[in-house]
Structure formats: C-alpha cells, structure tokens
C-alpha cells in the first residue's frame, strides 16, 4: 500500500472506543464462532465446535470482569483467535469480497418508469452491505477494503452503531469488533 492509501484508510478508520467487558467478550465470542465457521463446512461439525467454544467461555463466567486473570484469559483468547484466523474467511455474498458484491446492481427506477414512478412502488434503498438507508444514510462515507473484506465507516457512524449494539442492536462497526 502506498502512503496516500494508508492516510486515507487511517482517516476513515473508526476511533477505538472504550468498550465494556461484556462487549469485548461478546465480540470475542462472535469472532470465535465466525472463525470456526470459516474452517468447518459440515453443520454437525459446526454445532459441535460451537458447543466447545461456548463451554470455554462459560467456564470463566464466574470471574470478576476487572481481575487480572480475566485480562490474561482475554489476551490469550485474542492471540489464539489471531493464530487460527482463516486466510480466506467466509464472506457473505453481497459484502465486499463476496461473490455477489456489486453484481447486477438494480436498474434505477427512473429508467424503468420513464414517465414517473407509480404509487406503491417500493423506492427504499439499501447500502452496499444491505443495511437499509433508514439505519445508515446513503451519504455516509465508507472505505471498502478488499484485502480485509469489509467496509470501514466514518467515526460518527461507528459511534452510533456501537451505541445501538450496547442497547441490544445487532449492528456492529467494521470488522465487527
């Protein structure tokens, strides 16, 4: 990567937020499952491995979140996850790096209906990662990084998505951190 691209990526990269212990553990668990699903293809194997991963997390549930032992366990788990990350991770087909990303985009309705769009026609739009415009406005800027197979959104959006996640929402920032 050249210097200009690195600067552009650094500008678009979300600010590291202070996450709660629960959010860190939830993200670690989610990433562990996604990593395992990149390696396994049989649903039975996936279910067995998911049960093993869940048991490993449950074994340390009784520990206090601020204890040094928990920090050590989380650090070791992150290192283990980094070591076992698949070189070509599974990507949803419509996400950057997926087989359907930007394939056959829909024709603009103005072209389909040159004399005006009829009433009742669905005019809702979605972003490139299929998130409805109501959740993320189209004018939000995002950097598509094909090497990481993700989209990195602006700082304001990352903060909003993290806040939604804390309130029980399912929308995460880039890399689902």
Tokens of 24: 């860190």
**Domain boundary residue among 87, 111, 139?**
87
Top pLDDT among 131 and 36 is at 36
Top pLDDT among 75 and 15 is at 75
Between 119-123, 125-129, 173-177, the lowest mean confidence (pLDDT) is in 173-177
CA nearest to 144, candidates 135, 152, 134: 152
The answer to the question of residue 11 being in a domain is: no
DSSP state of 138: T
- Do 67 and 53 belong together in one domain? yes
Q: What is the DSSP string of 14-29?
A: PPPP---HHHHHHHHH
Tokens of 132: 């409805």
pLDDT of residue 139: 64
Contact (CB, 8 A) for 23 and 65: no
């Amino acid at each position: 990567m050249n210097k200009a691209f690195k600067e552009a990526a650094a500008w678009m990269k979300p600010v590291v937020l202070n996450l709660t212990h629960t959010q860190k553990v939830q993200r670690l668990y989610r990433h562990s499952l996604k990593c395992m699903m990149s390696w396994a293809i049989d649903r039975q194997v996936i279910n067995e491995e998911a049960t093993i991963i869940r048991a490993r997390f449950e074994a340390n549930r009784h520990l206090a979140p601020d204890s040094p032992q928990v920090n050590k366990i989380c650090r070791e788990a992150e290192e283990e996850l980094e070591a076992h990350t698949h070189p070509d991770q599974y990507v949803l087909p419509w996400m950057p790096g997926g087989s359907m990303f930007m394939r056959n985009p829909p024709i603009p309705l103005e072209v389909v209906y040159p004399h005006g769009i009829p009433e009742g026609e669905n005019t809702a739009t979605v972003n490139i990662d299929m998130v409805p415009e109501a959740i993320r406005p189209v004018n939000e800027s995002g950097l598509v990084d094909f090497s990481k197979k993700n989209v990195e959104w602006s700082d304001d959006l990352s903060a909003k998505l993290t806040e939604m996640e804390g309130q029980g929402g399912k929308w995460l920032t880039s890399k689902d951190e």
